[in-house]
Amino acid sequence: KQEVTQIPAALSVPEGENLVLNCSFTDSAIYNLQWFRQDPGKGLTSLLLIQSSQREQTSGRLNASLDKSSGRSTLYIAASQPGDSATYLCAVRQRGSGGGADGLTFGKGTHLIIQP
Amino acid sequence: DTEVTQTPKHLVMGMTNKKSLKCEQHMGHRAMYWYKQKAKKPPELMFVYSYEKLSINESVPSRFSPECPNSSLLNLHLHALQPEDSALYLCASSQDPFASNRYEQFFGPGTRLTVL
């Protein structure tokens, strides 16, 4: 069974710093990996999707990398801002039975606080 | 329109009540999902629908009954719930169940359920 681990569990830094959030998964047979942001009591906002054949994706100040063979992904946040404070979740998608859609398996998240 | 909507936002119900949660998307997505998220935990998959057919049931108790009446609508019928079922229930959708590599999942804001 797929297991997803995120390190660190929590992080508090002053604004302006560049950050690295880590995600690892035990089964490398994934379709893709998605990074999400979740604000307290809210739903999930998709940040980046990396397909299994890709190595990285970028969106604004965010850059995510994927090393499928070693079961690792990294989310890099440049020039952090107080508005980046949230929980960041990593999730992987695998083939479901019958070859169709499968749900996501999530890590426990990194709770990020950016101090003004 | 890249939005998944969920109603109601909040629901309080007794253990003998019957209620339903509703999810809609108008993006033409053909895979829809229900997830359950307990406080300070990651989302956990409950059900997957592919082309309006139930394709995955993650051993969810029968007091939760999903329904997909058409390609835009997903319901979760609730009956005889327990207090431990209190959680945030998240709906998600993605474009094509059989091209899982390319497509991200979009999440709704969730329904906060409290069972008394």
What confidence tens digit (pLDDT) does each residue in B63-83 have? 999 999 999 999 999 999 999
Cβ atoms of A102 and B96 closer than 8 Å? no
What are phi and psi for residue A97, nearest 5 degrees? -65, 135
Tell me whether residues A103 and B58 touch, CB distance under 8 A: yes
Give chain A's mean pLDDT: 93
Q: What is the CA radius of gyration of chain B?
A: 14
Distance from C-alpha of A19 to C-alpha of B89, rounded to nearest angstrom:
30
Coil, strand or helix at A82: helix
**DSSP strand pairing (B18-25 vs A32-38):** unpaired
Q: How many C-beta neighbours within 10 Å does residue A4 have?
A: 24
> What confidence score (pLDDT) does residue A41 get?
86
Predicted confidence band of residue B56 (pLDDT cuts 50, 70, 90): confident
Instruction: Convert the pLDDT of each residue in A42-67 to its tens digit.
Output: 899 999 999 999 999 999 999 999 99
Mean pLDDT for chain B overall: 92
- If pLDDT is split at 50, 70 and 90, which confidence band does B1 have? low
Evaluate if residue A8 carries a pLDDT over 80. yes
B8 preceded by cis ω (within 30°)?
yes
Q: Do B98 and A99 touch (CB under 8 A)?
A: yes
- How far is it, in rounded angstroms, from Cα A66 to Cα B33? 25
% residues pLDDT > 70 (chain A): 94
Residue with tokens 């497509």: B103
Which one-letter amino acid corresponds to residue B109? P
Residues of chain A neighbouring B104 (CB-CB closer than 8 A): 32, 34, 46, 49
CB of A66 within 8 Å of a chain B CB? The answer is: no
**Quick one: pLDDT band at residue A19, thresholds 50, 70, 90?**
very high
Tokens found for residue A115: 């101090």
Contact B31, B93 (CB under 8 A): yes
Contact in structure between B115 and B56 (CB atoms under 8 Å): no
Of the pLDDT bands very low, low, confident and very high (cuts 50, 70, 90), residue B37 is very high
- Both structure tokens of A45: 């906002």
- β-pair partners for B93: B32, B106
Cβ contact B105–A93 (<8 Å): yes
